[in-house]
Chain A
Amino acid sequence: MLYKIYSLGLFLLFTAVAAICLFYTLPAAVVQAHGVELEYIKRDAIEVTARYDSGAPMAEAQVAVFAPGSPAEPWLTGTCDSDGRFFFLPDPEITGLWEVQVRQAGHGGLLRIEVDESGIGPVGSAGFTGLQILIMTAAVIWGLIGTALYFSRRQPE
């Protein structure tokens, strides 16, 4: 009789020890998560918009973000949404020139964004406006027409 009581006591003791061990080894959040604390802070994210020079968005284009100092290994990869937009939050600890490469079917471009202690650099763009393109095209075509006129002038005999 006494033996039975002892063995029951021993069994309860082991169970208790095992339970305490389990309690402390399980990830704390699983066992202790009775309440939830949510908080938020305001951070500056970067929105990249990728368009072809025809104006059409680069929908579903692939994006690779390169942190400063590691131009070979992308820090983050992802895809643009259907409007050619891509959001990401650079690590504020890594300051320097971040590079965002957007590519689709061999078309693509590289955007450089300055991130320093005070935050993300000014809004930038890698393209030209329509008027700039028009003037540049006209200048180049005029140069080529000039070349043609120069070489088609009458040769002195």
Chain B
Amino acid sequence: MHIPDGIIPASVAVSGYAATGGLTWLSLLGIKKQFTNPRNGIPKAALLTAAFFAASLIHIPIPPVSVHLVLSGLMGVMLGWFAFPAILVGLLLQAVMFQHGGLTTLGINACLMGLPALVAASIFRLRYLFGKEKPLPNAILAFIAAFLAVAMGALMAALLLIYAIPVYIDISAERTAVLALSLAHLPIALIEGVFTAMVVLFLLKVQPALLESEKL
């Protein structure tokens, strides 16, 4: 899902930056609404950014490709509105340190992972409808949120990559490779769904306040 420099046309990269600008603004508005003092949300966001940053180094071989954890769903579930800026910072660090992703594609990558994280956040908020203390609805919602976040990101990335194949590339071979890579994200989506559900169950027992997204 990390699109490197030089793969997509400049116009797409610029649109990605524009969309990321808009989504960051929206997230900051949401944070302002949710927190009386936004500083209170930063420790949790910083720690999850560390997890997000390191997760992409954990590779899971699914022949013929190798994919890595994304954790966009966990970010959304745990952070709510903070997820988008946190992912943006994590992606910047990954791009600068490891050339994983790229600086020109930072905007588009933030959309590919941040937008699903916000969707995951809103799915997980449904727990206030089903009873926020009950473990089962919490676990199910966390699983669905994280599964959909990865699947949505992989689908958006595949559509974008197929749209942006340059003329000098063997189009059918690249298309097959993109489809194989997208399908390889299904097991990752399952793994992250189960992992996020486990994290939520654990926190529900130990520190349920960490899952709250009401006014703090």
Binding site for B on A (CB under 8 A): 52-54, 56, 59-60, 62, 64, 73-74, 77, 79, 101, 103-110, 126, 128, 133, 136-137, 140-141, 144-145, 147-149, 151-152, 155
B170-205 CB mask vs A (1 if < 8 Å, else 0) is 100110011011000000000000000000000000
Total A-B pairs in contact (CB under 8 Å)? 97
Q: At the interface, yes or no: B97 with Cβ under 8 Å from chain A?
A: yes
Bound complex: CA A56 to CA B61 (Å): 9
Q: List 15 A-B contacts (CB under 8 A).
A: A62-B174, A64-B169, A103-B7, A104-B177, A105-B65, A105-B177, A106-B7, A108-B4, A133-B57, A136-B97, A136-B98, A140-B93, A147-B46, A151-B39, A151-B42
Q: Is the CB of A140 within 8 A of B50?
A: yes
Enumerate the 10 nearest inter-chain pairs by beta-carbon distance, A residue then B residue, closest first.
Answer: A54-B59, A105-B177, A144-B50, A152-B43, A148-B46, A105-B181, A151-B42, A148-B43, A106-B161, A147-B46
A contact residues around B97 at 8 Å (CB): 136-137, 140
Bound complex: CA A149 to CA B57 (Å): 24
Binding site for A on B (CB under 8 A): 3-7, 39-40, 42-44, 46-47, 49-50, 53-54, 57, 59, 61, 64-66, 68, 93, 97-100, 157, 161, 168-170, 173-174, 177-178, 180-181
Q: Is the CB of A108 within 8 A of B7?
A: yes
B contact residues around A101 at 8 Å (CB): 6
A contact residues around B157 at 8 Å (CB): 106
A contact residues around B59 at 8 Å (CB): 52-54
Chain B nearest Cβ from A74, distance in angstroms:
5
B contact residues around A74 at 8 Å (CB): 168
A59, A103, A105, A149 — most chain B CB neighbours (10 Å)? A105
Prevailing SS type, chain B contact patch: helix
Q: Smallest CB-CB separation from A74: which chain B residue?
A: B168
Q: Is the CB of B47 within 8 A of A145?
A: yes
Q: Is the CB of B42 within 8 A of A147?
A: yes
Beyond A62-B174, A103-B7, A148-B47, list 12 extra A-B contacts (CB 8 Å). Answer: A56-B61, A62-B170, A64-B169, A105-B65, A105-B174, A106-B3, A106-B7, A144-B53, A145-B50, A148-B42, A148-B46, A152-B42
Q: Is the CB of B66 within 8 A of A109?
A: no
Q: Is the CB of A144 within 8 A of B173?
A: no
